[in-house]
Chain A
Amino acid sequence: MSVSNAASLRGTDSGRGVAPDTIRYNREVPGLGDPVFDVSGLSIHYGANKAVRDVDLKVGPRQITAMIGPSGCGKSTVLRTLNRMNDLIPGARVEGKVSYHGEDLYAPSVDPIEVRRRIGMVFQKPNPFPKSIYDNIAYGPRINGMRGNMDDLVEETLTKAALWDEVKDKLKESAFALSGGQQQRLCIARTIAVNPEVILMDEPCSALDPIATLKIEDLMYELAGEYTIVIVTHNMQQAARVSDRTAFFTAGVDDSGERYGSLVEFDETAKIFSKPSDQRTEDYISGRFG
């Protein structure tokens, strides 16, 4: 059966189908080149539970890779293995290989602190520190022993995060005084202040209103020229709007009744949303399940 025409994509009762006009950014999809991440045969265990199974994925440089899928499909879990945040969860164990520029991220000699310096992360809920706006940005550079002019760095970083004009007169005020969307952009600024190569985003807009969401998406698009971005999102339109490549995950149940997540399909975003090669992807993006 064919669902590849736009009308049938739009016409789902849940309203979650992706209309072509929601694609805001028009650009060539960059090649995978020398992939930043090369994930192969990745499985993640929580205690006795093998929660995510056999994921193969490549993340290309300076582009946006989206991970989508229903709840419990393991997309956030996979994201957190990319900068070893899973190390902080008791009982979490990784199997398979995660390469970062050809280097095994889980080799015993790898220091997770160093990994996270280069691979930053933005979280679901805006989580600024209970400090001033200035100190939120300065935190990362300070702990990393940065020398040089902190004032300049703060200004440059906030400008990059499209927040400078809104906060330049209240840098010494608490970050909590900002709106949710501003706080999230502050968190993005805080991440790029340590000059990472990759920014991981775990549903960065799920706590924000539509206007704040669009601002973050614009920002992501801007940043993709300089950083490699991997975003987990619940919002398919968002993936369709901003990403170059999309990985679709799904949740399944194995023979022993255990739930697990796995990768269904990974391809260029335009292809995933117009001519997916797997029926499950097609069902999901046309709003038929999940």
Chain B
Amino acid sequence: MSTEAPEAPKAPDARRGTLQSGKGRLADPIFKWTVGVCGTVVLVILALMVVRTTAEAWPVFAKEGFFGFLLGEEWDSGRSRTEITGTYGAWPFIYGTLVTSAIALAIALPLSIMIAVYLTHLAPSRLAKPLSYTVELLAAVPSVIFGLWGLHWFLPHVLRPFFDRLEAAMGWFFLFEGPVRGVGYLPAGIVLGIMILPIMTAIIREVVAVQPLEQQMAAYALGSTRWEVVTKVVLPASFSGIVAATMLGLGRALGETIAVLMLIGGSQSWGGSLFDTGSSMASHIAATFGEAAPETRTGLMAIGVALFLVTMVVNILARVIVWRLGQITGDSAV
């Protein structure tokens, strides 16, 4: 390369002025600071919430001990304004939350996967579109409507007859021991399952639909049946998305208040048959908050803290699962 570089112009172009003559562009810094503040606000709100509830709940933790509160089986609220006189144990409510959410997931997870597979792989496109819209519409139905519908129609007309048969057939097993009461863990869990079904289906459908067609073609070209393509190629590749959908559904199930309140029965016992009545953390807070004395309110705050902890632990566990399995499949969508 012997050719010389063209000579640089000696003077700045007179028509444009110098490079320093920009008008001090303000839009960018303003934009940067505005979105920065908005982003930080999220953190501040979360921190305030955690700190405030924990501080409010502190006297109860101080009296019962942290694990004493979480595992205590008795809830006997006092009426004092200044000190903690009652007994506060959150276990019946934690149990109610976990059991109803587990029932909800047991119903919603397999169903939502099957619906998503149907919508993406089997349904004729004429049907798939309206069905997908319907699923998304169902996700927007307010939970109080699920509660009302569950209590006044679904429970007496569908669940009661089903429960009676279930009890007759499986009554020897402690989870399905009679008597069948109507409201209780099982109906609350089932309606919760229906509630979280649409959002889970919507997410899983999205994830399944974007799985690369080339991989499915490769599987077909190796002599796979449609069943094998779905179960061995599409669903494993959708794993992290399915976990994410499960987390979202579970988050909703753990925190759902009003529909559970209407269907779980509101007792403070725990354990035994799924036909028994109980309370979840959220439903107990909502049911007693209105007429609670100041010390009971402290106890309810403590339940709030416990609920927050439960959701956090569940979320972290899910992330760990996705991360561990993602290392094998080379999936980085975590």
Contact = CB atoms under 8 A, between A and B. Distances in A.
Contact of A127 (B218, B228, B329, B330): B218
Q: Chain B binding site: helix, strand, loop or mixed by DSSP? A: helix
B222 interface: yes
B222 A139 contact: yes
Contact of B331 (A88, A130, A140, A191): A130
Contact of A116 (B125, B214, B222): B222
Contacts of B141: none
Interface string A164-186: 00000000011111000000000
B217 A127 contact: yes
B219 interface: yes
Interface stretch (A2-10, A40-48, A117-125): A117-125
Given A88-B217, A127-B214, A116 B223 contact: yes
A39 B300 CA distance: 78
Contacts of A173: 330
B221 interface: yes
B36 interface: no
Contact of A174 (B125, B220, B221, B329): B329
A113 B224 contact: yes
A90 B217 CA distance: 14
B232 interface: yes
Interface residues of A, number: 31
Interface string B188-214: 000000000000000000000000101
B223 A174 contact: no
A130 B212 CA distance: 10
B80 interface: no
Interface in A110-149: 113-114, 116-117, 120-121, 123, 125, 127-132, 139-140, 143-144
B330 A187 contact: no
A88 B225 CA distance: 12
B233 interface: yes
Contacts of A144: 223
A120 B224 CA distance: 11
Contact of B223 (A88, A117, A129, A187): A117
A132 B232 CA distance: 13
A116 B217 CA distance: 11
Given A143-B228, A174-B330, A176-B330, A121 B221 contact: yes
B200 to A, nearest CB: 22
Contacts, number: 74
Contacts of A143: 222-224, 228, 232
A85 interface: yes
Nearest to B239: A130
A149 to B, nearest CB: 20
Interface string B215-242: 1011111111100100011001100000
Given A127-B212, A174-B329, A175-B330, A194 B218 contact: no
Interface string B318-333: 0000000000111100
Interface in B278-334: 328-331
B222 A191 contact: yes
B328 A174 contact: yes
A83 interface: yes
A58 interface: no
Interface of A: 83, 85, 88, 90, 113-114, 116-117, 120-121, 123, 125, 127-132, 139-140, 143-144, 173-177, 187, 190-191, 194
Which 4 residue pairs across A and B have the least CB separation, nearest first? A174-B330, A117-B223, A127-B214, A121-B221
Given A83-B221, A114-B223, 19 more contacts: A113-B223, A113-B225, A121-B217, A123-B218, A127-B214, A127-B215, A129-B218, A129-B233, A130-B215, A131-B329, A132-B328, A139-B219, A139-B222, A139-B232, A143-B232, A144-B223, A174-B330, A187-B218, A190-B218
21 contacts: A85-B221, A88-B220, A90-B125, A113-B224, A116-B222, A116-B223, A121-B217, A121-B218, A123-B221, A125-B214, A127-B215, A130-B237, A130-B330, A139-B219, A139-B222, A140-B222, A143-B223, A143-B224, A175-B330, A187-B218, A190-B222
Interface of B: 125, 212, 214-215, 217-225, 228, 232-233, 236-237, 328-331
